[in-house]
Amino acid sequence: MINYKRLAALAVEAKDRAYAPYSGFHVGAALLCENGKIYIGCNVESAAYPATVCAERTALLKAVSEGERKFKAISVAGSRPGGESDYCYPCGVCRQMLHEFAGDDFEVIIVKSESDYRVHKWSEILPYGFGPNDLGV
Ligand code: THU
């Protein structure tokens, strides 16, 4: 199994960049490409609440807009408004967007700390998803 300690640590670091004045919930993500590059992201909230972008999508959009298409894993770290870290699973919108690019081996690392994280297969995070295959792409 891949050692995800570094990817976990980068998600924890990215969390410090969160712009979350409304929820106070800080999230960081680190997306590992098949070529070894890593793109980080944080949540960026908006006074028009639904316009908020989650950490996972920030990382994904940064990567895709730089030309990346193949990914190995994403790590996600979240802290409650008080600052306490807890396991934070991707929201439904992020699961759907990641599904666009998630291959069979894609893994999701849910990080409480650099040394305390859970590794999930993509199929556990989004079973029976609707994706490019369904549209013949
Ligand atoms: N959030 C993320 O960035 N990722 C998740 O996986 C769950 C939720 C953000 C969105 C919003 O800024 C805050 O956490 C509270 O929902």
Reply yes or no on whether 114 is catalytic.
no
Residue 123 in 3-state DSSP?
helix
CA proximity to 55, closest of 68, 70, 40: 40
Place of tokens 């098949």: 34
**107: Cβ below 6 Å to ligand 1?**
no
Using CA atoms, how far residue 45 sits from 15, 53, 54, in Å, is: 13, 6, 8
What pLDDT, on the 0 to 100 scale, is given for residue 70? 98
**Annotated catalytic residue within 34, 56, 84, 114:** 56
Q: What is the pLDDT of residue 2?
A: 77
The whole-number pLDDT of residue 1 equals 62
Closest residue by Cα to atom 6, ligand 1, is 90
pTM exceeds cut of 0.75? yes
> How does pLDDT run along the chain (137 residues), one tens digit per residue?
678 999 999 999 999 999 999 999 999 999 999 999 999 999 999 999 999 999 999 999 999 999 999 999 999 999 999 999 999 999 999 999 999 999 999 999 999 999 999 999 999 999 999 999 999 99
- Distance CA(72)–CA(61), nearest Å, equals 15
